[in-house]
Amino acid sequence: MEYYSSEINRLIEELSALPGIGAKSAQRLAFHIINMPMENADRLAESILSARKNVRYCKECFTLTDDELCPICRSRNRNHRVIMVVETTRDLAAYEKTGKYEGVYHVLHGAISPMLGIGPGDIRLKELMQRLQGDVDEVIIATNNSLEGETTAMYISKLIKPSGIKVTRIASGVPVGGDLEYIDEVTLLRALEGRVEL
Ligand code: ZN
């Protein structure tokens, strides 16, 4: 049964395909958009297209950026010999918000999960190992405290160990299964300061 015009249905369908947006939210958003002033709708559409076209991966750390190198990798004030490995760009943002971390990052874009069929080749691990050919003093593994995060941490540590580079893991002040991005800055800093060598 079609309640709405096909244009509205199409918008609802596109919106409900987004993560975390159920059928109800999609309807609510669709009607909100339809009632927007035209210039706001234009701005929204334009920002989606422009972000999609221009945002790319930093060629050094693989975070999302609109330049070849992200501002962190470009910065001379950062310690490029300390690399923090995180699962997502959102995790990077969480650590950046603390304002206390002076090293650089490496974004894996996922974690190893045998259950979901995600192997080491499916995340940016090879790229991390390539970076370690340069001068690196420490790799801080800050993957999530979930089964996948721990599996990934263990895998990376085994991979790096033979190179003699110091490998540390953030302390488990971060609750099990907790997504880094939802954890407050104090807890994040404590986890970083209390990191242990693997
Ligand atoms: Zn970067």
Which tens digits make up the pLDDT trace of 135-181? 999 999 999 888 899 999 999 999 999 999 999 998 875 554 556 65
Mean pLDDT, all residues of the chain: 90
Q: Which residues surround ligand 1, an ion (CB under 5 A)?
A: 58, 60-61, 70, 73
Is domain 6-54 given the CATH code 1.10.3210.10 in the classification?
A: no
- The pLDDT score that the predictor gives to residue 116 is 87
Give the whole-number percent of the chain exceeding pLDDT 70: 93
Please tell me the CATH code under which domain 64-197 is placed. 3.40.1360.10
- Sign of the CA dihedral running 18, 125, 71, 172: positive
Ligand 1: distance of its center to the CA of 95 in Å? 14
CA of 87 to the centre of ligand 1 (A): 14
Residue 105 CA, ligand 1 centroid: distance in Å: 7
User: Are 170 and 142 within 8 A, CB to CB?
Assistant: yes
Q: What global pTM score does this model have? A: 0.76
Q: What is the pLDDT of residues 68-84, one digit of tens each?
A: 999 999 999 999 999 99
Query: Residue 73's pLDDT is what?
Result: 97
pLDDT of residue 11: 95
Look at residue 179 in the predicted model and tell me its pLDDT. 61
Q: What is the pLDDT of residue 61?
A: 97
Q: Could you tell me the distance, in angstroms and rounded to a whole number, from the CA of residue 170 to the centre of ligand 1?
A: 21
Å from CA of 77 to ligand 1 middle: 14
- Cα 65 off chain centre by: 12
* Residue ranges covered by each domain of the chain: 6-54, 64-197
What's residue 171's pLDDT? Answer: 82
Using one digit for the tens of pLDDT, what is the confidence trace for 102-135?
A: 999 999 999 999 888 999 999 999 999 999 998 9
How far is ligand 1, taken at its centre, from the CA of residue 130, in Å? 14
Non-local (6+) Cβ contacts of 85 within 8 A are 105, 106, 108, 128, 139, 140, 141, 142, 143, 156
Comparing 139 with 97, the larger pLDDT belongs to 139
CA of 93 to the centre of ligand 1 (A): 12
